[in-house]
Amino acid sequence: MNMALSALRGVAQTAFNLNCMDAETLARIRSVKRVNGDIQRKGRALDKQEIRALIQAAKQHPQPVRRCRDAAIVLTLCGTGLRAGELVKLERRDYDNGILTVRQGKGRKYREIHVADAVDRAIRAWLKVSANEAENALFSRIQRNGKAATQPLTTTGLTGILEQLQLTSGIARFTPHDMRRTFITRLLEQGVDINTVRQLAGHSDISTTTRYDYRGESMKISASRRFKCW
C-alpha cells in the first residue's frame, strides 16, 4: 500500500510540473500519511518431522536418479542454509570431500561450508548416479527417461521440486527460503553462537541473522529455567 502511495505521489508531482495539477491538489495528495501495518514475520522454520517427511517423499519417487537428487537437495538446503539462487549456481567443482564452496553468494560473497555427514552422503549418492550424464552443474535437471540432463536447475525448477515434495509429504506449505530459516534456527537451538551462525549463513550484519531466529517459546522457557546468577 505504501509503495502505491509513493507511486501516486510521484505521478502527482509530475502532473504538477507539467501544469496539469494545481498546487492545492498536490499538497492534499502529499499529505496522505503512510500506513503503519502490523509487523509480521515472514516465513517459518520447518520442524524435524517435516524434514524427515520431505526426505521420505523424495525416496518414494519411481525414478532412482530423481530420488537421489531430490533427497540431496532437501538435505543440502536445510543442512547448509543456501539460498535458492546459490544452490542452482553450484558446480561440481564446488563440492569436495565434505566442503561446499559458495562462489556466487549474495553480494558476490565467497564462503565455505563443512557439511554434516548426512548431507555428505546424500550429495555423494547423487553424484554417483549422475556421474556419466551431468556435466558442470552440481544439481541438474532430469530428463523424462530418468537420466540426468546437462542443464542446471533453475530457481523456478527448484521451487517446483519442493512444492511436489510438500504435496507428497502432506506437510504445510513452505518456500525454499524457509529451509534457510530452518538451518539458522537449528544452529541456534543447538547452542551455536550467533556470530558463527552469521558467518555460516553468509550475512554481513548480525541483525539480519536475528530475523531468521524462529525458536519457539519452549526454548525461552527452558533457558529461563536453566538460568543461574548465583
Give the Cα separation of 218 and 154 in Å (integer): 38
* Residue whose C-alpha cell reads 557439511 in the numeric block: 115
Q: Is 108 a catalytic residue?
A: no
Give the number of residues written for the chain: 230
Q: Where are the strands (E) in the chain, listed by range?
A: 95-96, 99-102, 111-114, 140-142, 148-152
Q: Which of 61, 69, 180, 181 is catalytic?
A: 180
Q: How far apart are the first and last CA of the chain?
A: 51
Scanning 93-216, the segments in alpha helix (DSSP H) are 117-130, 155-169, 176-189, 194-201, 206-210
112 C-beta neighbours (distance < 10 Å), count: 12
Q: Which of 92, 103, 147, 177 is catalytic?
A: 177
Q: Which of 69, 89, 181, 203 is catalytic?
A: 203
Q: Is 61 a catalytic residue?
A: no
Q: Is 121 a catalytic residue?
A: no
Q: Is 106 a catalytic residue?
A: yes
Give the Cα separation of 3 and 37 in Å (integer): 13
Give the three cell numbers for residue 120.
555428505
Q: Which of 106, 109, 124, 128 is catalytic?
A: 106
Q: Is 212 a catalytic residue?
A: yes
Q: Which of 69, 198, 212, 214 is catalytic?
A: 212
User: Mind telling me the catalytic residues?
Assistant: 83, 106, 177, 180, 203, 212
